[in-house]
Structure 1
């Protein structure tokens, strides 16, 4: 299956969340969805010597790295590093609204400079080889009129050779809203993004923002080439990812149960602990596995209270499963 086919459903890059342990967990839940790293700044890789931020497990494929920056030379060099590490895609962040990205002239502020974005992706493509360079953007920022800005942005990036773009269907308000508020306060404009798919049939366009269920994914796929899910994939991963391969990708194999997913995570957790890692570095991403299911509270509490303790091991995970099983048996 080609990378564009995997992009039919993807998990959004989320700072502090979609690290390599989170991605390893999500890959257990779905073998088909496209996974993204947290945003990594090109300057951290090129000038900061932080190449370790590109580390990932081979089991994560297909996996994309998201880069932040606007210096063409740095982005080109960072792209070369990512390709050398084996990533399946390099994505340029044109959507993050934090103060940090404004001061560094990258993220959503670049919506005001589509020509600079085009120059950036051209530089990245020069070092990417056959690995696709993609863009994740907003529909506009601040006082911009998305119905005018977004088509021009897409036209400009497409002319630079970009063939796939993910659009967060909200404006970013760089003046007056916090990054957290920018994830919720600006209204969603799904019809505008759907219209872009009609107007740019040669682009592979994915929609992002406020999508919380596979039913909503199905609805958007009537209009879009792909859907990107963010917080719902993290907080309720079983609901979004466990049946995605069957529903979204048409795979003919039974989905895992949450219990089977935990079983498949055991070797990964054991290897991490053996290497000197801490249990909660992995289990913090698994807290929502039983969300909405019997025993979810006991599972979450057991892992939250026990996984951070020195020497905590797989016995904490076992205790969490025992909490779930006890609630199920009590209800029988």
Structure 2
């Protein structure tokens, strides 16, 4: 059995871990973009979070992980209502992947051997109700980016070619990572990520030693290392499950909505997606912290995550995006 590195054992990177927890509580936040150095635990954190989350209930044999028989598409040919529990799916979308591999296409083998026109699901089907992880997302080909934008917006994958007319649910948390030195991300895709985080290698000697120590212990005895952190991971899992229940009834007053709007106006963010993401993230954080209501403190805590990647470029201001958000926070919430 292959073990994932424990989520709670990741040293530092608190902003990245918080962003991923918030999207686990409320997937409608819109995913996480992680930019930074190689080897800073980006892919490790995604797989660790998926392993941390409770399993999902799916119809046995359903290629899109439908929760019940009523949601199983007709094209699957499944005639069962038997359900099983499976781990939260994490699907890697590699660079250079073809459109057919992403969306699904005609099953050539069945067409040639049986003369049947059947659909072979792609990566979007596998990622439904889970995570779609794209490493080096800034190097992704434009036509794949456009495809992902459409699916992320609609929550549905539509295939109309080769004589096929297929639709199926494709709701997933999009997690992208990359190195900013290798190129910028297209603005259209950048805006689709709810939260963004900049990560860096630890510059503290003690932290670097602790990273090496934990990774070495995991590589030598994965099962033992995972077991030693299981109680801490279980506590985080319990808080996430509790937050999912609390968030349904957690209220945000008009003053909180005004705070969201003030921040976005002061930062000059385009559209209203910034305000909506800020509100959802603040509500998820309040639910995770077991607060009775969403407050200004929750808004200010998640503002750098929700707004840093939505700033307009300012050639006269060479400060980083996180610094600009912090500066506006200080002004607005003085």
Bigger radius of gyration? 2
TM-score (norm. length: structure 2): 0.30
TM-score (norm. length: structure 1): 0.30
Q: Which has the higher contact order (CA 8 A, sep 6+)?
A: 2
